[in-house]
Chains A and B, each alone.
Chain A
């Protein structure tokens, strides 16, 4: 039900990655953690996809599942992930080894821990070049220098001789990007590439990734908790909540009209420079659901300002809106934002005094009447 909408409009020759009903479960003593619960999407060559969600929404696990990097005997992944015509989920580990770095690469969240502290930058940039492509030491060195130039690292020769701790965080992330690009992959996963960095550097790194993606005509999946990051940088966006896709849309259409209450709440929780200073952050009340025993019905229902009785019992399917809506814009909600049902549900919840609805209804900036934090609020 979820996969039909995207695949129709897609030319199979251009499709690079098609994920269908992917589910990943971690078995731990407390039970089965269902981190990804049936995600489907497809990505064309040279296109970009943003995956957005708060911590624990399953976005990193999803990316790592497609790359087969969730290691451990307690992980099970089902579904298919067809990459360049082959289902990577059924490949052996040695076949994956040929994909890693060569076809799919990943830039990780924390550049400080992603580089081996005891190995010089030079070897870390060139080792997979040499093992995958069998190039000589001198040739690999030359490639490394041009890669470092490309990611705007000054004095590349000297940097290659350095150890990671001798470089700044932003510089290290540039190195990680250079490593990921070294073998010219067709698909790049960037898993929260700027979360661990200074705000001033974040912008530069995102621009660098965007430029490389365009110049190389490489497909990119940008995983982030920050809706502001995907705005204007990705072609399509998936919003994930509790291991499921709640909204899936071309990014422009998403920002033009957000339909899922969770997407709206995520956007509202971003601090804005246009707000008066000391404005209370519009945090999403409540906490992410238990993934061992997810709530019945819509997983967001316990926190949703638009919630109705139906939402608590029935899982809303991922569907497109009515006529006049973007046919590629899908969402999983019975009372979507901007619909008459939604407005009605919200008004009813406010008059019933439902806490999450009342919290939203308050004009932002009005501190005096704002409710005190409940203590289990989570700032996304």
Chain B
């Protein structure tokens, strides 16, 4: 167990170094100049002032030097300041991360909790009307992009029915119910595709598991169908689901950018988008490294969950 975690830590550090360097490189390659964000265009006539600001922000140093400086600070927990808001990147992130994290957690929980019963039901009644309806819905959800789903949700639930607010965000501290009200629609827009993908994954895995001999022997013992499905089939059928959920965290993070924009949520995704447009390189750098960290941590957690689910993996590792 301990060597496993040590191995993973080394991998995390290596990933972060690579990701942060590549991001630095990419932002550097983008056309446009950070100076535009620092000084208004009309004030840029003053060459001396521009030069002074460039020197101050270290924009004149070679890229590798700037990266080294960023890395040195970052190791000490200082991720620099945003060029646009002049707040520190860390405070900006701690302010916005909870919004995105909540959105993602609600989305994942919601879609997994819905996909498991749907997938199991479709697999158990393979080829039946129930299966056709579930599989058909999955197909439909799969072909609706998040922003279309978001617009539809706003139209139906916010404008027509008036059940939920169309945009905005209530912090957790404002009360759980108000908080939930603002997270439901964005999470649902993101969840549609997730539900579709997970339902199909669960369906096909459970269908395979149902062919296993141990399912036949469970039946021959006279156990009930529901017991067999949920106490014998579900665990062996969940390995693919866990993998896909872990890998999908990346896609989901991408999805939050669009959805946070659509629902005007003060989350990280929207902030990242703004930062890229404004050439706010410190901000881009900070958020990217954070996302990479989350991604690596989630997938390490996935590997740990494997061991919990399948005792044979525990032994092998």
Contact = CB atoms under 8 A, between A and B. Distances in A.
Q: Do A and B bind each other?
A: yes
Interface in B293-317: 309-312, 315
Contact of A128 (B127, B221, B312): B221
A111 to B, nearest CB: 9
Contacts of B232: 116, 119
Nearest to A132: B222
Given A163-B312, A165-B312, A100 B214 contact: no
Contacts of B113: none
A101 B217 contact: no
A106 B235 CA distance: 24
B212 interface: yes
A108 B217 contact: yes
Contacts of A106: 217, 220
B213 A131 contact: no
Interface string A144-165: 0000000000000000000101
Interface of A: 67, 69, 71, 73, 97-102, 105-106, 108, 110, 113-119, 127-128, 131-132, 163, 165, 176, 179, 183
A127 B219 CA distance: 12
Contacts of A97: 222-224
B213 A114 contact: yes
B224 A131 contact: yes
A69 to B, nearest CB: 6
A109 to B, nearest CB: 8
7 contacts: A98-B222, A100-B221, A102-B222, A114-B216, A118-B235, A118-B236, A183-B222
Given A110-B213, A113-B212, A118 B311 contact: yes
Interface in B201-240: 212-214, 216-224, 227, 231-232, 235-236
Contacts of B311: 117-118, 163, 165
A69 B315 CA distance: 34
Contacts of B310: 117-118
Interface residues of B, number: 23
Contacts of B236: 116-118
Contact of A69 (B127, B212, B220, B224): B220
A185 to B, nearest CB: 10
A114 B217 contact: yes
From DSSP, what is the main secondary structure of chain B's interface residues?
Answer: helix
Interface of B: 127, 212-214, 216-224, 227, 231-232, 235-236, 309-312, 315
Contacts of A119: 231-232, 235
A50 to B, nearest CB: 20
A35 to B, nearest CB: 16
Contacts of A69: 216, 219-220
B211 to A, nearest CB: 10
Contacts of A110: 213
A262 to B, nearest CB: 29
B73 to A, nearest CB: 47
A117 B312 contact: yes
Contacts of B216: 69, 71, 108, 114
A263 B213 CA distance: 30
Nearest to B214: A116
A118 B309 contact: yes
Nearest to B311: A163
A169 to B, nearest CB: 14
A127 B309 contact: no
A183 B218 CA distance: 14
B317 to A, nearest CB: 14
A331 B216 CA distance: 34
A73 B125 CA distance: 11
Contacts of B309: 118
A307 B218 CA distance: 45
Contacts of B227: 127, 131
Contacts of B315: 165
A210 B231 CA distance: 32
Nearest to A179: B221
A113 B222 CA distance: 18
A105 B64 CA distance: 72
Nearest to B220: A106
A67 B309 CA distance: 32
Nearest to A99: B222
**A-B pairs with the 10 shortest C-beta distances?**
A100-B222, A101-B222, A113-B213, A128-B221, A116-B214, A101-B221, A163-B311, A114-B217, A106-B220, A118-B235
A69 B310 CA distance: 28
